[in-house]
Structure 1
């Protein structure tokens, strides 16, 4: 019998391929054509996202009615805490003044994910964040190792891969945790639809984050 998580994987696969896996940003990395300014812009957008992640996960824990879901979100919030510091460390190793470089507002992709998640927690059902977690942890587990392997070929990134390497490793374990939680939380068709929609929108927003990084680098050049 197909599990809710397996059904959701199938439903979101087209968006995953179109908006993320086949995005020019990924192709640029794997081709060996990534520039330092695009990579720095990616770290900047990621910084703004992961800075907020523990906050909306903690909020989800506080608003969840099920005890096990409270524990899940709290544990994940602790796991995701301080990952913004990894982005800061990598940017400093690239030679950036992070106080200045990170002072602006995030792009549309990051803005969308942060807004979506705070809205879902406060206005809908905290379980929606399982869709966000499934999307982001799945990306880290699937693309993380390939991207990290490609990134070591870039001289400018040799000492600035902390964030990518940590997530390529941790997300392998997190995916299994999310899979179990997703299946357990999918108690109604309405909740399942909310989680899958959040998953889909997160993938689309992640593709936008990649576009933002590439566009921002061009503007800054």
Structure 2
């Protein structure tokens, strides 16, 4: 079994915790409201804006033995730069106040998730960052494109309100293949353990982000 396959196996219960969030079940069944979608985009903005800074922090702390991983991070930064602005554009297309979101503060669950990964990079092992990548990109592939279609059909929003979700559904398919290849090159047990542990915790914290979002009031 490859390390990436082992990573998915070891984090299955935590992944199920995330996917069982009530708002995800609602969205998949077509039970969704505009405030719920805008709240999702708001929290997405507050963690996505940290993607590049987290990548930079990780790359800066990697040891020389992982120079090949630092090279991949440099390419990843270029691809990820500015994606938080896509989210603000989606919020505007929902006729909501993107400037208020930019200047606002995240829910506690979002703040804790981001802070946790910064802490893992700084105090433990920078490779921990890829535990977060496993969670966010794996979840995106599982949900993004399908949920975007359900929400758009239900709320009759323009295509411009879904640039974040629709782009990441397809984009993250490429990123997952890259993630698999990078994780399967890891040959240090401490690095592997750091990724697994971080993924387990981030699945829980990201699940709490979804649980912090307002549910639709539909019956």
TM-score, structure 1 normalization: 0.91
Aligned-pair Cα RMSD in Å: 1.7
Q: Quote how far apart the aligned CAs of 1:6 are.
A: 0.7
Supply the distance in 2 between the matched residues of 1:213 and 1:79 (Cα, whole angstroms).
28
Supply the distance in 1 between the matched residues of 2:129 and 2:157 (Cα, whole angstroms).
32
Q: Quote how far apart the aligned CAs of 1:174 are.
A: 0.4
Supply the distance in 2 between the matched residues of 1:145 and 1:193 (Cα, whole angstroms).
31
Contact 1:130 1:181 survives alignment (8 Å): no
Q: Quote how far apart the aligned CAs of 1:156 are.
A: 4.3
What is the number of residues matched between the two proteins? 214
Supply the distance in 1 between the matched residues of 2:85 and 2:201 (Cα, whole angstroms).
26
Q: Quote how far apart the aligned CAs of 1:99 are.
A: 1.5
Query: Unpaired runs of 5+ in structure 1?
Result: none
Contact 1:112 1:205 survives alignment (8 Å): yes
Q: Quote how far apart the aligned CAs of 1:191 are.
A: 2.1
For residues 14-38 of structure 1, the C-alpha deviation after alignment (integer angstroms, 9 at most, x for no partner) is 1111x22221111111121111001
Contact 2:34 2:155 survives alignment (8 Å): no
Contact 2:39 2:214 survives alignment (8 Å): yes
The 5 Å alignment of 1:74-89 reads: 74-89=74-89
Q: Secondary structure at the match of 1:32?
A: coil
Supply the distance in 2 between the matched residues of 1:121 and 1:46 (Cα, whole angstroms).
21
Q: Which has the higher contact order (CA 8 A, sep 6+)?
A: 2
Segments of 4+ moved more than 6 angstroms: none
Contact 1:36 1:156 survives alignment (8 Å): no
Q: Secondary structure at the match of 1:106?
A: coil
Q: Quote how far apart the aligned CAs of 1:192 are.
A: 1.6
TM-score, structure 2 normalization: 0.91
**Structure 1 match to 2:35:** 37
Query: Unpaired runs of 5+ in structure 2?
Result: none
